[in-house]
Structure 1
Amino acid sequence: MNRRDFLVKSTTATAVGLAFPYINFGKAKEDTILGHGQYRYKVVKDWGILDNDTPVKDCHEMVQDSKGRLILLTNEVKNNTIIYNKSGKLLSKWGTEFPGAHGLTLSNENGEEFLYITDHDRRQIFKTTLEGQIIFKIGYPKDANVYKYDGAYYKPTEIAVASNGDFYVADGYGEQYISRYNYKGELIQVFGGRGMENDKFTECHGITLDNRNKNNPTLLITDRQKHQFKRFSLDGKYISTIPLGNLWNCRAVIKGENIYFAALKSNDKWDNNGLGFVGIIDKNDKVVSCPGGAEPIYKNGELRAIPQTSKLFTYPHDVCIDDEESIYVAQWNSGRTYPIKLQRV
């Protein structure tokens, strides 16, 4: 069963899951320390839990803006975008038109910040202000001549923005192409596509600009069903792979020298047992800590399978690392759970 089929069939299973104690709804029952080595975190109780006037469905992704505000994207059309402060207080909310809201990327363009949103149900991507005004929207890349049936199978999931304004759209639930546009929204190229080769994807769920090397920025593209991050040049050439063993990795989030990511799950099951956690990769492309999972161990250069060890998480989908190095974990299909905050210790 694929993810989209599971989403349709999971309503009953989720309702049944409400009776089980491992469904956490964003609340920690007691103070808990998670993680390994120098990357250990305390679970912050009841962070960001709001009233019935601000519901969530799937909490897909989060970012922090230059003012320190935390911006959450959910596919709840009563309030697609929820803006918190770091204490979890609601500051504002907007958005009623993104039923398939999935990817959320913050871009700073000459000192002004914008959001890029993907909606896989509408098969469109949007550029907005932080207050929700739509600057432009773009459908499937028709001019590339790679999509049939008027882009019916185009389902974008993520966007990365380069320093020159070029942006890259990952068709992670569709035909697995990466579409590159200039800052005006004009198509430059399309690369990737579905396949098992290094330069192709089985599920390009996420895409991130890795600018840790300022002289040679690259793209980190998730190939989730292969449990890998793949590195590409900005002109679409495959460079290398970061293997992640058994982890169903979501998008890469760069903070300092490290890559952070949500592991949606750590085996091939789709059920209510959670199975996911957070992963941290150091500058040498090694997993060094897994808050919510077992300690990462390499044997003969390969990452051994990592199981979930804490039932705190249920299908974590994204992480946001704030300016104090706390981690906020947004979760998919977790019983309308608000994000969970992990404070670094």
Structure 2
Amino acid sequence: MNRRQFAKFSVLASSAIAFPNINYGKERSSKNPIIGHGDFKYKVYQDWGTQSPLKYPVKDCHEMVQDKKGRLILLTNETKNNVIFYSRSGKVLKTWGHDFPGAHGLTLHQEGEEEFLYITDHDRHQVFKTTLDGKILLTLDFPKETGVYDKPEQYRPTETAIGPNGDIYVTDGYGQSYVIQYSSKGEYIRHFGGRGNEENQLKQAHGICLDTRNPDNLELLVTSRGAKEFKRFTLDGKYLATIKTPGCAINRGVIKGKNLYFSVLETKTPWAYDGMVIVLNENNEIVSAPGGSAPKYIDGMLQNMVSDNISFMNPHDVCIDEDENIYVPQWLSGRTYPVKLERV
């Protein structure tokens, strides 16, 4: 049984017995201890977030954010503890959440001195705004106001982004790939995108983020994961441009300084465990691909990216701390816990 076959067996077995894939990453230290390219290279800490599966179980580790206290907040669809707070050293500080079986997207937003979380649940077809202690303050139900949905089951939200005025943007990544815009109070404003092949349409609008790299010209970056690209929109939903990421099924974008980061779920299929992380500069050019091949451009065109097939299984998000270390939660990866990439 080769490594991929064994890993797949471990995922299936762990799904049944609720234990993580303990063999994942064991080849890492001897074969490729440092990953990445150029100025963005990292040492991999495979066991950074590993916990007792009996005390702190996870299913899919979907997304992570960091609050102003430095705590790393993980969202998982395990209803014994949907939300897990980590210290930067990997210690669990607290947990909460038992009601989000389809927990998927996690966004942190600061209003004044207080921070709030936005959680999407594609199984419940809803989006929730909560305090950091888990109190639900706002619930967004399926957007019947749009006129494009007949029933909640057609709507499977995957991500949110919060505009500078508090507007809430929700991507229906596992539904009809619309972006729905609400006021901060949850009042419907508009929708745009939608599944299709036109330049302003999307193929699996999996993620969205507010691009703050040019403060005078804020934009929305919306992932079209099925097409292996992302698209730029104005804050009122007007299409601007498409940036292709050939070979990379990207999740949501994360901004840190002048750089844009994506986790790459896979390049071929989730069962190949061939994900990676990509780092883009302010011109949206890939400058490093930890866990993948060195980015190569020919006549301004990015060439197909390839995974190293060892660093990750199915990366689903990235969280970048103040030292520009990267934390990587993973989907359908044998209940494994987040991985830390320490910048070197």
Instruction: Report the 3-state secondary structure (helix = DSSP H, G, I; strand = E; otherwise coil) of the residue aligned with 1:147.
Output: coil
Instruction: Report the 3-state secondary structure (helix = DSSP H, G, I; strand = E; otherwise coil) of the residue aligned with 1:152.
Output: helix
Q: Distance in 1 between matches of 2:101 and 2:72?
A: 21
Quote the RMSD (CA, aligned, Å). Answer: 2.0
Q: Is the 8 A contact 1:28 1:46 kept in 2?
A: no
Q: Determine the structure 1 residue equivalent to 2:24.
A: 24
Q: Equivalent pairs: percent with the same residue?
A: 51
Instruction: Report the 3-state secondary structure (helix = DSSP H, G, I; strand = E; otherwise coil) of the residue aligned with 2:154.
Output: coil
1:26 to 1:116, Cα distance in 2 relative to 1, 3 A: farther
1:22 to 1:47, Cα distance in 2 relative to 1, 3 A: closer
**1:292-307 counterparts in 2 under 5 A?**
292-307=291-306
* TM-score when normalising by structure 1: 0.92
Q: Determine the structure 2 residue equivalent to 1:90.
A: 92
Q: Determine the structure 1 residue equivalent to 2:212.
A: 211
Q: Is the 8 A contact 1:25 1:335 kept in 2?
A: no
Q: Determine the structure 1 residue equivalent to 2:203.
A: 202
Residue identity matched to 1:84:
Y
Q: Distance in 1 between matches of 2:328 and 2:309?
A: 14
Q: Distance in 2 between matches of 1:241 and 1:111?
A: 36
1:159 aligned to 2:141?
A: no
* TM-score when normalising by structure 2: 0.92
Residue identity matched to 2:303:
R
Q: Determine the structure 2 residue equivalent to 1:227.
A: 228
Residue identity matched to 2:62:
H
Q: Distance in 2 between matches of 1:60 and 1:40?
A: 24
Q: Determine the structure 1 residue equivalent to 2:48.
A: 47
Count of matched residue pairs: 331
Runs of 4+ in structure 1 off by over 6 angstroms are: 10-13
Question: What is the CA deviation profile of residues 28-49 of structure 1, one whole-angstrom value per residue up to 9, with x for unaligned ones?
Answer: 5558110000000011252021
Gaps of at least 5 residues in structure 1 are 1-9
1:344 to 1:118, Cα distance in 2 relative to 1, 3 A: same
* Cα drift, residue 263 of structure 1: 0.6
Residue identity matched to 1:39:
F
Q: Distance in 1 between matches of 2:340 and 2:76?
A: 17
Q: Distance in 1 between matches of 2:202 and 2:12?
A: 34
1:325 to 1:98, Cα distance in 2 relative to 1, 3 A: same
Q: Distance in 2 between matches of 1:159 and 1:137?
A: 13
1:174 aligned to 2:171?
A: no
Q: Determine the structure 2 residue equivalent to 1:120.
A: 122
1:16 to 1:76, Cα distance in 2 relative to 1, 3 A: closer
| More moved, 22-31 vs 66-75 | 22-31
Q: Is the 8 A contact 1:326 1:342 kept in 2?
A: yes
1:244 to 1:316, Cα distance in 2 relative to 1, 3 A: same
Q: Distance in 1 between matches of 2:198 and 2:180?
A: 18
Instruction: Report the 3-state secondary structure (helix = DSSP H, G, I; strand = E; otherwise coil) of the residue aligned with 1:82.
Output: strand
Gaps of at least 5 residues in structure 2 are 1-6, 16-20
